[in-house]
Amino acid sequence: MGTSYIMTAFGKDRPGIVADVSQVLYENGCNLEDSTMTLLADEFTLTLLFTTGTDEDIEDQLLRECRRLERDKGVSAYLRLVRGAPKAIPGAFTEHTLHVEGVDRVGIVYKVSRFLADNQLNIVDLVSRIEAQPNSGTLMYLMDIHIQVPQGTDMDKIHDGLAIVGEELNVDIAFKA
Kindly report whether the global pTM for this prediction surpasses the value 0.85.
no
Q: Is 120 left (phi over 0), alpha (psi -120 to 50) or beta?
A: left
With DSSP H G I counted as helix, E B as strand and the rest as coil, what are the percentages for the chain, rounded to 5?
Answer: 30, 40, 30
Euclidean distance between CA atoms 137 and 149, whole angstroms: 36
- The answer to whether the beta carbons of residues 142 and 131 sit under 8 Å apart is yes
Share of the chain above pLDDT 70, in %: 94
pLDDT surpasses 60 at 147: yes
pLDDT at 151 over 60: yes
**In whole numbers, what is the pLDDT of the chain averaged over residues?**
93
Q: How far apart are CA 74 and CA 88, in angstroms?
A: 37
**Contact between residue 97 and residue 85 where contact means Cβ atoms under 8 Å apart:** no
User: Would you identify the CATH topology of the domain 4-82?
Assistant: Alpha-Beta Plaits (3.30.70)
pLDDT at 57: 80
CA angle 116, 147, 41 (to 5 degrees): 90
> Regarding the domain with residue range 93-175, which homologous superfamily does it belong to in the CATH classification?
ACT domain (3.30.70.260)
pLDDT tops 80 at residue 125: yes
Q: Is the pLDDT of residue 55 over 90?
A: no
Note the pLDDT tens digit of each residue in 153-165. Answer: 999 999 999 999 9
- How far is the CA of 112 from the CAs of 27, 50, 97, 132, in angstroms? 42, 31, 13, 22
Q: What percent of the chain has pLDDT over 90?
A: 88
157: phi > 0 → left, psi -120 to 50 → alpha, else beta; which? alpha
Q: What is each CA distance from 93 to 33, 81, 87, 96, 149, in whole angstroms? A: 24, 27, 12, 10, 5
The reply to whether 93-175 shares the fold of 4-82 is yes
What are the extents of the domains in the chain?
4-82, 93-175
